[in-house]
Amino acid sequence: MPRTLTDLPFAGWPVVRYVGAATLVRCVDGGATVGLVLLALRRLPQGAAAGGLFVALLTVPHLLGPWLARQLDRSADGRRLLAGAFVLHGAALAAGAALMGVAPLPVVGALLLLAGAGGPIVTGGLSSRLPEIAVRARMARGRAEGWDAVTYGVGGTAGPALVAGLAAVADPLSAVLGLGVATVVAGAVVLTLPDDPRKPTLPGESDPRKPGLPGETVASREGRRGEGVLTVRQALGLMVTLGPLRRVLVATLLTAVTAGGLTVVAVEFGARLGHGEAAGAALAAVYGLGNLAGSLAVTAFPLRGEPERLTVRHVVILAVALALCALSPVYPVAVAAFGLAGFANAPLFAASLAARSAYSPPGARAQVFVSIAGLKMGLSSVGAAGAGAALVLGPRPLLAAGAALVLVAAVVAVADRRLTAAPARPRPGRTAPGGVAPEEVRECG
Q: What is the spatial distance between Cα 417 and Cα 368, in angstroms, rounded to a whole number?
A: 20
pTM of the model: 0.70
Look at residue 437 and give its three-state secondary structure. coil
Question: Please, is 172 exposed, middle or buried when counting C-beta atoms within 10 Å of its C-beta (0-12, 13-18, 19+)?
Answer: buried
Q: What is the spatial distance between Cα 144 and Cα 173, in angstroms, rounded to a whole number?
A: 35
Q: Which amino acid is at 423?
A: P
End-to-end CA distance of the chain: 35
Look at residue 305 and give its three-state secondary structure. strand
Report the share of the chain in percent with pLDDT over 90.
24
3-class SS letters over 142-167: HHHHHHHHHHHHHHHHHHHHHHHHHH
Could you read off the pLDDT of 224-270 as tens digits, one per residue?
Answer: 344 456 676 777 777 888 888 899 989 999 998 888 888 778 878 88
Q: Which of 349, 369, 374 is nearest to 357 (CA)?
A: 369
Q: Which amino acid is at 183?
A: T
Average pLDDT, the chain: 78
Confidence of residue 196 (pLDDT cuts 50, 70, 90): low
Pick 206 or 394 by higher pLDDT.
Answer: 394
Note the Cα 174 to chain centre separation in Å. 26
Rg of the chain's alpha carbons, rounded to an integer? 22
Question: Please, is 358 exposed, middle or buried when counting C-beta atoms within 10 Å of its C-beta (0-12, 13-18, 19+)?
Answer: buried
For residue 443, give the DSSP letter: B
Confidence of residue 429 (pLDDT cuts 50, 70, 90): very low
Q: What is the pLDDT of residue 442?
A: 38
Average pLDDT over every residue of 345-358: 88
Q: What is the pLDDT of residue 226?
A: 45
Q: What is the pLDDT of residue 342?
A: 92
Could you read off the pLDDT of 67-98 as tens digits, one per residue?
Answer: 776 677 676 677 888 888 899 999 999 999 99
Q: What is the pLDDT of residue 327?
A: 94
Q: What is the spatial distance between Cα 273 and Cα 338, in angstroms, rounded to a whole number?
A: 14
